[in-house]
């Protein structure tokens, strides 16, 4: 049995690092495991301008633990009034790595999101021309669509026409959760990729209702039926360059999760590589972890692969019940469980 693996340093292609005290509490977990991360722009107010992204990048770098070697890659939050010239300038200056499309009201801090993608035609033409990736939270927001169907309906109603109308636009369908998403991405051209989170590889929707309501297993897109988890898992471990690592680590303080209306988001950063290693190990394809974690993402974005390596050892690690930093308390994914792999760095 393999007792340890060493792979090229990985990156996280979708993370929420937050701001202020929460940023200080969580950034070290991501920086310990990953060389780079695509940092989601859904702050209040959202990151819309080049100046705001530069300032946020500065705050992230300031919050890093001493000696950390970590590069945040910034993202522009799209609104109905997104300015193609400003966004292209940010991309060309190396400030914005991508744009993020949140359908308005799809998830946490998405009130400023896009109400109708047709309003963005000029911007999408620009992005297609300059090769700037569009990252999509792929869920419709109509309240008459069942929450478990919102990703599949988004693919049918929004993504399929989008890919037809902008055939060269680079698109990442973020945090896929369904067989429909895995099939759509696998069946599209090389310009379409997808990120996959640890939780959507590990839990299905039963985890949210296991003996009572479990707010720490609730994120968006919400975990689906077992058959979908298996389809997403198959895609992740397939070795296809279209699927890559994106944790969607989304911390919320305990009080905001354990509430009458709890926030969506799972904080998986502390044991992210442990989670993924366990999945690839269970599937008998540990040799494919490196592609998923360290190669497919940079190749899709057209960025260089990281230098250096990290090692994971087959050792039991017990996950703490709560991660604490000053007044901040966040329950991590796998709280209280034993992981079978340990990230040594
Ligand atoms: C994210 C958050 O909390 O910012 N929550 C989540 O459940 N993933 C928002 C998002 O990415 O949907
Ligand atoms: Zn997210």
What DSSP assignment string belongs to 5-27?
A: EEEEPP-EEEE---SHHHHHHHH
**Domain boundaries, given as residue ranges, for the chain:** 11-307
pLDDT at 205: 98
| Check whether domain 11-307 has CATH 3.20.20.140, yes or no | yes
Cβ-contact 229, 203 below 8 angstroms = yes
Active site residue 248: yes
pLDDT at 109: 74
215 lines ligand 1 (CB under 6 A): no
Cβ-contact 172, 248 below 8 angstroms = no
List the pLDDT tens digit at each of the 345 positions of the chain. 899 999 999 999 999 999 999 999 999 999 999 999 999 999 999 999 999 999 999 999 999 999 999 999 999 999 999 999 999 999 999 999 999 999 988 777 778 899 999 899 999 999 999 999 999 999 999 999 999 999 999 999 999 999 999 999 999 999 999 999 999 999 999 999 999 999 999 999 999 999 999 999 999 999 999 999 999 999 999 999 999 999 999 999 999 999 999 999 999 999 999 999 999 999 999 999 999 999 999 999 999 999 999 999 999 999 999 999 999 999 999 999 999 999 999
74 lines ligand 1 (CB under 6 A): no
Helices (H), the chain: 20-33, 50-63, 84-92, 121-130, 150-154, 160-165, 179-187, 198-202, 226-236, 254-257, 272-282, 289-290, 296-301
Distance 265 CA to ligand 1 centre (A): 5
Nearest-angstrom CA–CA distance, 269 and 251: 9
Distance 246 CA to ligand 2 centre (A): 9
220 lines ligand 1 (CB under 6 A): yes
pLDDT at 107: 73
pLDDT at 106: 75
- Token pair belonging to 253: 């303080």
pLDDT at 38: 99
């Amino acid at each position: 049995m393999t007792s340890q693996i060493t792979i090229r340093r990985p990156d996280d292609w979708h993370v929420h690092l937050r701001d202020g005290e929460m940023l200080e509490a969580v950034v070290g977990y991501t920086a310990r495991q990953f060389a780079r991360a695509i940092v989601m722009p859904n702050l209040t107010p959202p990151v819309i301008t080049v100046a705001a992204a530069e300032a946020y990048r500065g705050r992230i770098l300031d919050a890093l633990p001493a000696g950390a070697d970590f590069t945040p890659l910034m993202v522009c939050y799209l609104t109905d009034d997104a300015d193609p010239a400003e966004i292209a300038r940010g991309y060309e200056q190396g400030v914005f790595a991508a744009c993020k499309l949140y359908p308005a009201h799809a998830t946490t801090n998405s009130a400023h999101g896009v109400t109708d993608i047709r309003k963005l035609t000029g911007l999408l033409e620009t992005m297609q021309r300059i090769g700037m990736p569009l990252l999509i939270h792929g869920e419709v927001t109509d309240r008459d669509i069942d929450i478990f169907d919102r990703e599949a309906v988004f693919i049918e109603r929004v993504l399929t026409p989008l890919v037809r109308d902008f055939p060269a636009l680079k698109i990442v369908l973020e945090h896929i959760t369904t067989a429909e998403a895995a099939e759509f991405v696998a069946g599209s051209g090389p310009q379409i990729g997808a990120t996959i989170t640890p939780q959507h590889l590990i839990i299905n929707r039963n985890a949210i209702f296991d003996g009572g309501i479990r707010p720490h297993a609730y994120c968006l897109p919400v975990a689906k039926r077992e058959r979908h988890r298996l389809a997403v898992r198959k895609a992740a471990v397939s070795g296809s360059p279209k699927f890559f690592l994106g944790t969607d680590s989304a911390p919320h303080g305990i009080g905001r999760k354990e509430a009458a209306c709890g926030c969506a988001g799972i904080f998986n950063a502390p044991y992210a590589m442990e989670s993924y290693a366990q999945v690839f190990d269970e599937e008998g394809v540990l040799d494919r972890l490196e592609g998923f974690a360290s190669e497919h993402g940079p190749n899709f974005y057209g960025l260089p692969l990281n230098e250096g390596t990290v090692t994971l050892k087959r050792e039991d690690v017990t996950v703490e019940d709560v991660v604490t930093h000053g007044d901040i308390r966040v329950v991590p994914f796998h709280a209280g469980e034993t992981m079978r792999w340990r990230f040594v760095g």
